[in-house]
């Protein structure tokens, strides 16, 4: 479920980018969904290699060169998907920055607290009782990512 949510959020961010950055066009929601899926694959396979190859530049720039790596990966994804067109590296840079920020903000809000209510089968309390009693399992994610 979490992977699906991240994919949809990234797709919507990619679909929104042409309205904010000139030089980027996305032909439709299908192209945005495909680009988000390809970005996920490229971030797993290609991005670590690029980070390793550019490590000296990343260290010298105090990590800011990672923004260039993100833009390169975004531009690569745009060149492989037929419905996404990126006019320049600058457009890819700002587009990847927007997609990264939106994805980070939304995914940061997604994690946190999960409450399961017995008998409803969902994360919603039963209509008869909105109070938390013995029929709840309350989980909260701490700063280290551990659930308690």
Report pLDDT digits (tens) over 87-142: 999 999 999 999 999 988 887 776 655 555 555 555 555 454 455 555 555 566 66
Tens of pLDDT, residue by residue over 50-75, are 999 999 999 999 999 999 999 999 99
- Whether 106 and 133 share a structural domain: no
Quote the domain boundaries for residue 134: 113-148
What is the share, in percent, of the chain residues with pLDDT greater than 90? 62
Judge whether 78 and 92 are in contact, CB under 8 Å.
Answer: yes
When pLDDT is cut at 50, 70 and 90, the band that residue 6 belongs to is confident
- Whether 72 and 117 share a structural domain: no
Model pLDDT, residue 69: 96
- Whether 105 and 118 share a structural domain: no
Alpha carbon of residue 101 to chain centroid: 8
- Whether 118 and 140 share a structural domain: yes
């Amino acid at each position: 479920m979490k992977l699906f949510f991240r994919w949809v959020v990234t797709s919507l961010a990619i679909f929104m980018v042409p309205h904010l950055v000139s030089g980027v066009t996305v032909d439709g929601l299908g192209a945005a969904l495909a680009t988000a899926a390809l970005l996920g694959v490229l971030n797993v396979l290609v991005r670590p290699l690029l980070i390793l190859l550019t490590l000296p530049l990343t260290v010298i720039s105090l990590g800011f060169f990672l923004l260039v790596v993100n833009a390169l990966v975004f531009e690569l994804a745009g060149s492989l998907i037929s419905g996404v067109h990126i006019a320049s590296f600058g457009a890819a840079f700002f587009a990847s920055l927007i997609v990264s920020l939106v994805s980070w903000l939304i995914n940061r809000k997604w994690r946190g607290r999960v409450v399961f209510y017995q008998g409803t089968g969902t994360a919603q309390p039963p209509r008869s009782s909105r109070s938390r009693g013995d029929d709840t399992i309350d989980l909260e994610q701490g700063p280290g990512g551990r659930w308690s």
